[in-house]
Amino acid sequence: MTAEPSTTAVPGPTAEPPGARLGARERILDTARTLFYRRGVNNVGIDEIIAESGVAKATLYKHFSSKDALTLEYMRQGDLRWTAWLRGRVEELSPDPAGRLLAVFGALEEWFGLPHFRGCLLTNVVTALPDPEHPAREVLAGHKARVRAYLAELATQAGASHPEVLADQTLMLIEGATAVARMERDPGAADRAKATAHLLLKSSETEAGTT
């Protein structure tokens, strides 16, 4: 279903970092990204991040005033990494812009198949936090809005009659497939979602042709 991955492609948007970088702030974030994504934000304490990143407690608090502040930056970076990865991978999988909406699911299948895959890191954070007013929810909402806008762009390129509607439908398919892939360890969830997206796209193209 998917094209062969490029040999130069990034291994995935949530890949564990290749190693510590020079700056203390970057080491802290790299450590948080690995531990938070692997085990969940509620299961990782500040002291463990300090020990794993090799920084002093004062250094961590110089860059991040609290665990919440570190978590929010982890989410923001995750948003940027994931959306940049998705755009780049979709363009590699489909040189023809008209095919890129469905190529999204090819990218997802690759992501779902990675050994470190644990689902959407932003959603994971929000579902772990009981406070309905936590600012993490705003970060997740902004992420979804950016993904939806990208999907609407792809739906327009694919000739959809109502690209915004198709973008909403596609986002729901992505979220559902991601949840299934995480729970069942089944990369094929992307292929099943793609089949539904294909039907929705064909219906939208037919509608466009009759108006």
Own/partner contacts of 88-92, CB < 8 Å, gap of 24 or more, are: 88/9, 88/10, 89/9, 89/10, 90/154, 92/3, 92/6, 92/9
Tell me what the mean pLDDT of segment 43-61 comes to: 97
Angle, in degrees to the nearest 10, between helices 46-53 and 67-93: 60
Q: Which CATH number fits domain 21-65: 1.10.10.60, 3.30.200.20, 3.90.1170.50, 3.10.310.10?
A: 1.10.10.60
Distance of alpha carbon 62 from alpha carbon 47, whole angstroms: 15
pLDDT single digits (tens) 84-128: 999 999 999 999 999 999 999 999 999 999 999 999 999 999 999
Tell me what the mean pLDDT of segment 183-194 comes to: 98
Indicate the pTM of the whole model. Answer: 0.88
> What architecture is domain 67-209?
Orthogonal Bundle (1.10)
pLDDT single digits (tens) 166-186: 999 999 999 999 999 999 999
pLDDT single digits (tens) 132-157: 999 999 999 999 999 999 999 999 99
Give residue limits of the domains in the chain.
21-65, 67-209
> What pLDDT is stored for residue 14 in this prediction?
73
194, containing H or E segment: helix 189-209
* Residue 136 contacts residue 129 (beta carbons within 8 Å): yes
